[in-house]
Amino acid sequence: MSDDDDFMQDSDQEQYDFEYEDDDEEETGDVGIENKYYNAKQMKADNPDEAIEEFLGMPALEDEKGDWGFKGLKQAVKLEFKLGKYDKAVEHYTELLTYVKSAVTRNYSEKSINNMLDFIEKGAEDDKAYHCMEKFYSQTLESFQSTNNERLWLKTNIKLARLWLERREYGQLVKLVRELHRACQKEDGTDDPSKGTYALEIYALEIQMYADTRNNKRLKALYQRALKVRSAVPHPKIMGIIRECGGKMHMSEENWKEAQTDFFESFRNYDEAGSLQRIQVLKYLVLTTMLMKSDINPFESQETKPYKNDPRISAMTDLVDAYQQNDIHRYESILQNNKDVLADPFIAENIDEVTRSLRTSGVLKLIAPYTRFTLAFIAKQLKISVVEVQDIIGFLILDKKLEGKINQEKGTVEIDNRSDADRTHAMKEWTSAIGSLCRTVLEESEGFKADDSQSLGGTAMTGLVSTGTRGGGAAGHGAGGFGGGRAKHPKKGLVGARGGSMVLN
């Protein structure tokens, strides 16, 4: 078995569901021991205690330690652990380890012990089981250290590091990780390319620890170092872990685009590994899509499309659809009816930003026609509390997206509508420009000397004003406009201003 094969077995128990049986057993001439072994295996389901006795009786039937005694002890230890007889399991596992030095081959013993530890790790469900598992690791390390089996030493220590991580015993984990890093280096302190696969798994454990403890500075440094490792062909689950932690790191920095990239890569790797974690990471990917305010559907890619109608992801699918349609009521209803979405602490922590963004858009859309309104009115329309409405309005005012003031005593908001004031100011400038043009034409134009103005009577000024463009256009048609223009009725012309805009008849 190659290093990579071993690594793959160690790294993904969800994909590689081991049959912890001796499918590679070799038949020997001792028919009595062989029959005893298979009879005991048949008792495992119905009479596990009797099966244990049969398995434990096998070593005594051999003149010297051999394969059948080793196999019998393996089966007994697994049954004892499964039945919660942890002290007995540790006792007989210690006896089992005495066989690895001479009774069985190095490769067979290494494979068997590695599979045994996988079985124990997979079956541990409470503190007593974890304590037992810790003793298994300790006994294994002590045994194989004397045989100088570095590969199994690394694998066992990595399993022990996973145990410390799961139990959040970070002090123990830090010490062990340092030791593991040294084991993956050459004498000069540089990385050993032949141990790149192990190094990546150690990085993944350390990155998870710093992600849990929110030490973004260390996490970022290790994340970048892990991505630069080129001497290994890592199992996709390990890269899924590294990318997932990287995505969470980018989210904490509000770097939505980088987070989206990492979550997509994490999902792709978990999917390739057959890990159930792919569903959770897909939810994170949907979350970043909303935080980016993107109109692109995250389920349009070839990798994610098969999960679009997956019931485990349907709530997030509906959420992103409601968000992209700016439907605040549907969005709130989905969250209310799918409490399990917020069961993940990471989603619960970041969904507030999405909700706030959607509510802010809803407030702006709702208040657009008004210059004065009550907080209670907005709260009722959006189905949120008055306090939340006040927070949103306050944020909009501070962010200069809204000009107004809140009267907390009366619970009202008054908007400073600058559009009318700006329009009135523009009209004043336009009127001033017309007056200036009139003076220039009357005083300097060759066509309006004293005699000419008398012959034209009182129609010149009327024509000047009446030929102005409506609604704020330029005054008249310029000097050339008077030559061929015809005077309007003297009673018509500049009538006045209505609502801040000039009206011409």
pTM of the predicted model as reported, rounded to 2 decimal places:
0.65
CATH architecture of 369-416: Orthogonal Bundle (1.10)
pLDDT at 379: 86
* Residue 502, CA atoms < 13 Å, CB-side half-sphere: 22
Q: What are phi and psi of 406, to 5 degrees?
A: -100, 130
Q: Which residues contact 16 (CB under 8 A, 6 or more apart)?
A: 8, 9
Q: How far apart are CA 282 and CA 260, in angstroms?
A: 10
- Direct distance between the N- and C-terminal alpha carbons of the chain, in angstroms, rounded to an integer: 96
Copy the structure tokens of residue 19: 């049959």
Q: Where exactly are the structural domains of the chain? A: 1-167, 235-360, 369-416, 419-504
pLDDT at 278: 93
pLDDT digit of tens for each residue in the chain (505 aa)? 344 444 334 444 443 333 344 444 444 446 678 888 888 888 888 898 999 998 998 888 888 888 888 899 999 999 999 998 999 999 998 998 888 777 777 788 888 888 888 888 887 777 888 888 888 888 888 877 666 677 888 888 898 898 889 888 899 899 999 988 888 888 877 778 888 888 899 999 999 999 999 898 999 999 998 888 876 777 899 999 999 999 999 999 989 999 999 999 999 999 999 999 999 999 999 999 888 888 788 888 888 888 888 888 888 888 888 888 888 888 888 888 888 888 888 998 888 888 888 888 888 888 888 888 888 988 888 888 888 888 888 888 888 888 888 888 888 888 886 555 555 566 667 777 887 877 777 766 555 554 544 444 444 443 333 333 334 443 344 434 433 444 444 433 433 333 343 333 3
Q: Check: CB of residue 279 under 8 Å from CB of residue 308.
A: no
Q: Check: CB of residue 74 under 8 Å from CB of residue 96.
A: yes
What 8-state DSSP symbol labels residue 343? G
CB count, 10 Å around CB of 337?
A: 10
CATH class, 1-167 region: mainly alpha
Reduced 3-state DSSP string for 119-152: HHHHHCCCHHHHHHHHHHHHHHHHHHHHCCCHHH
Copy the structure tokens of residue 502: 């000039």
Q: Nearest 10 degrees: CA dihedral of 119, 120, 125, 130? A: -160
Whether 1-167 and 369-416 share one fold: the answer is: no
Q: Where are the alpha helices (DSSP H) in 325-410?
A: 328-337, 345-367, 375-382, 386-398
Strand partners, 502: 497
